[in-house]
Structure 1
Amino acid sequence: MSTRWRSCLVVIARNEAATIARLLTSVRPFVDELLVMDTGSTDDTVRLAEAAGARVAHFPWINDFAAARNAALDAAGADWHIVLDADEWLVGEGGGAALEALRDTAPEFIGTIALQDHFDGGTAQSRLSRVLPGHIRYTGRIHEQPAHDLPVRALDVHVAHDGYLPERLHVKQGRNEELLRAAVDEDPANPYLWYQLGKDFSVYDRFAAAEAAFANAADRLTSLPFLPAWWNDLVARRLFSLKSLKRHADGMVFAETQLQRCADSPDFFFALGDLLLDWAADEPQRAEALVPMIEGAWRRCLEIGERPDMPGAVEGRGSRLAAYNLALVLEATGRPEEAKALRGAR
């Protein structure tokens, strides 16, 4: 008789009444148990979680995500833990079967899920390690990571996330910054923490602070023989911050150092075209020199195509969004037929 491995969805939550039932309902048919670790809700989170079939435990919030997640994992005690957040939910057709298959799969690897972030104006893709053998625990005060030396396997599990939509962002404002600053104080040489701090600033349009954080991260990485998977995302976000600060020349200098490193990233070339277009709009006397570079950047996006395998990749930058922007440039430079053909091809 084959071994049957027990699976559990593990969630930490506080004041997530608006979304907790959506998550639990989406995953419930495919796992053996639902565990919600409440960290101090004052709304209906606990009642709604229990009504959706979850077992609810309680843990006092101590400004440490790893501590809360590890307490939840201890309480769950399953062979497989599927770790999701309350503002996420299972989507697509294959994810349920992939989760059900864990019951017949030995917990000997880390499983990644495909996460689709919804934000104001689009979606971004990433892969995250969220399917964990029972003994794995987290480290890190914020943007915590599972500590392990196991093989990693991509699972056909797709999860959507809407925590970056405007109506959700205001609830989180300040919380992550406080924790990230504390984490940076504890480990100031860690480029990943500086990158995450820059992301948090940019989400709230604090571009000067974002640029300082991104520059700090970049300075700690550029001398390394290899770069992390999130480097392309850092570069694209930094270019957007520099554009927003009207530091176009600085952005161009930085972009030139990244042409080879980011040669296969549509997000990089899209951000570069965006920065150059803004520069040309601000300084029309530069337009004659800049327009060919703008056009070249967006053509390169289309040559590369979509790259959802790259962390932080924004859907459309390798296809429809780049095509739309390029068509506008073609029309503005007296090439309406080319623009029409481009729109028709897309």
Structure 2
Amino acid sequence: MVTISLCMIVRNEEAVLARCLDSVSKAVDEIILVDTGSEDRTKEIAKRYTCHIYDFPWVDDFSAARNFSFSKATMEYCMWLDADDVLLDEDAKALMHLKETLDPSVRVVMLPYQIAFDAEGKPTFSYYRERLIRNGQGMCWEGAVHEVITPIQPILYGTAAVTHRKVGPGDPDRNLRIYEKQLAEGKVLSPREQFYYGRELYTHGRYGEAQKIFQAFLDSGAGWLENEIDACRQMAYCRYALGNEAGALRALLQSLELDVPRAEVCCDIGKHFFDRDQYTQAIFWYETAASRERDDRSGAFVQPDCYDYIPYLQLCVCYDRLGNLKKANFYNEKAWACRPQSKVCQNNHLYFQSKQI
């Protein structure tokens, strides 16, 4: 059985820290907690779980803090979590099984990261992250924000998902502030940092600036494929917000020059035509979305509903508006099978019953 050091950086996390550590403490062999300046009961709570508590002055650099936490680890693997992450019971059991079966030659274990959920608690947004890192192999965190470790083979993809359960708004301006501080100091952003800087600008409603950053990122040709595809989507959202609807569609179609279409992109294009009452065109793209194979291991930001529930539901509406109630009902039943608790599908079912379909 391999051993794991849980390495965390925290600041003012009294509301969530115990929840996080309760969920994972039985599955790890050591807990390293690095505090970057808490003014609440974070350290007091941490002492219930570990004596390995260190102070690290915050320098607007998540990688620096994470690398410091990894430097204190003494076990075979370093595992990282944020304080507002949890392991659900089944995932904690899966992590224990992973410990018992993991080949120690594996250098990086990628695990699902679930960060958004529907009303039923089903993940609507997830992606794989490098979660367990073989200690002493020279792998380091890079990037002041949206930090990352470049994995080294051999890599294993596991099933023990980490669930992000954010409490409170946090500091929504922090990441943008760090990027703009770096730019003011003359730093040249890497392609990955440029991509995430564009996303931060978009989130803050600075659509014109974000569009320029995404365009420069795409023009460079130096980005990672999945980030380039997502940049096309983000650029489209900027252009919609700026009233450039034709340009938005061109941005979405630009992603098709990069690789085969992702279901997320197909749903975006389908929505473009749906919103303009062009239902035949919308049907083509929603049918294409439903036909795409989902690849969670691509590293992309995966929206699972784009591969079944959303296109089926939209196909139901499209066919209903075209007067083809039989096909509309067919697709509503397919959507309902994806989400048995869906009130929308239940109401649609009653509607079609009233039409004697």
TM over 0.5: yes
1:175 aligns with 2:174: yes
Task: From the superposition, tell whether residues 218 and 67 of structure 1 become closer, same or farther in structure 2 (CA, over 3 Å).
Answer: same
8 Å Cα contact 1:180-1:197 kept in structure 2: yes
Q: Within 1, Cα distance between the matches of 2:46 and 2:183?
A: 34
Per-residue displacement from partner, 1:175-226 (whole Å, max 9, x unpaired)?
Answer: 10022234456553622112111222333444334323322221222xx6x8
Of 316, 319, 323, the residue aligned with 1:327 is 316
SS at match of 1:118: strand
Q: Does 1:137 align with 2:126?
A: no
Q: What's the CA shift for 1:307?
A: 4.0
Contact conserved, 1:124 with 1:315, CA < 8 A, in 2? yes
| Partner SS for 2:128 | strand
Relative to structure 1, is the Cα distance of residues 99 and 183 closer, same or farther in structure 2, using a 3 angstrom cutoff? farther
Q: Is the 8 A contact 2:232 2:254 kept in 1?
A: no
Partner of 1:55: 52
> Residue deviations 1:4-35, cap 9 Å, x none?
64311111111122221222111111111112
Name whichever of 38-47 and 143-152 sits farther off: 143-152
Counterparts of 1:274 and 1:254 in 2: how far apart (Å)? 14
SS at match of 2:310: helix
TM-score, structure 1 normalization: 0.84
Q: 1:97 to 1:320 in 2, by over 3 A?
A: closer
- Does 2:108 align with 1:110? yes
**CA pair 315-212 structure 1, distance change in 2 beyond 3 A:** same
**2:124 matched to which residue of 1?**
123
For 1:156-305, list aligned pairs within 5 A: 156-163=159-166, 168=168, 170-183=169-182, 187-188=187-188, 190-221=190-221, 227-278=224-275, 280=276, 287=277, 290-305=278-293
SS at match of 2:332: helix
User: Secondary structure of 1:112's partner?
Assistant: strand
The CA deviation string for residues 86-117 of structure 1, in whole angstroms up to 9 with x for no partner, is 12112362553445644774255111111111
What is the number of residues matched between the two proteins?
A: 327
What letter is aligned with 2:282? I
Residues in 2 aligned to 1:194 and 1:174: alpha-carbon distance in whole angstroms: 17
Q: Do the aligned partners of residues 252 and 141 (structure 1) sit closer, same or farther apart at CA in structure 2, a change above 3 Å counting?
A: same
The one-letter code matched in structure 1 to 2:130 is: S
Query: In the alignment, which residue of structure 2 is the partner of 1:341?
Result: 330
Instruction: Please give the root-mean-square deviation of Cα atoms over the aligned residues, in Å.
Output: 2.7
Compute the TM-score of the two structures, normalised by the length of structure 2: 0.82
- Deviation of 1:254 after TM superposition, in Å, equals 2.2
Partner of 1:67: 64
Unaligned runs of 5+ in 1: 281-286
Give, in whole Å, the separation in 2 of the partners of 1:188 and 1:291. Answer: 45
- 2: CA distance, partners of 1:335 / 1:187: 57
Map 1:14-53 → 2, pairs under 5 A: 14-53=11-50
For the Cα contact (< 8 Å) 1:242–1:250, is it kept in 2?
A: yes
1:132 Cα offset (Å): 0.8
How far, CA to CA, are the matches of 1:318 and 1:7 in structure 2?
35
- What is the SS of the residue equivalent to 1:259? helix
1:307, 1:336 → 2: CA distance? 33
Q: Within 2, Cα distance between the matches of 1:204 and 1:151?
A: 39
Give a deviation string over 1:36-58, Cα, whole Å, max 9, x none.
11111112222222234463221
Q: Label 1:107 to 1:182 Cα distance change in 2 as closer, same or farther (>3 A).
A: farther
Q: Gapped runs of 5+ residues in structure 2?
A: 336-357
- Give me the whole-angstrom Cα distance separating, in 2, the residues matched to 1:14 and 1:173: 15
* 1:273–1:295 CA contact under 8 A, matched in 2: yes
Task: Answer yes or no: is 1:96 the counterpart of 2:93.
Answer: yes
**Cα shift at 1:301:** 0.9
Q: For the residues of structure 1 that align with 2:262 and 2:329, how far apart are their CA atoms? A: 26
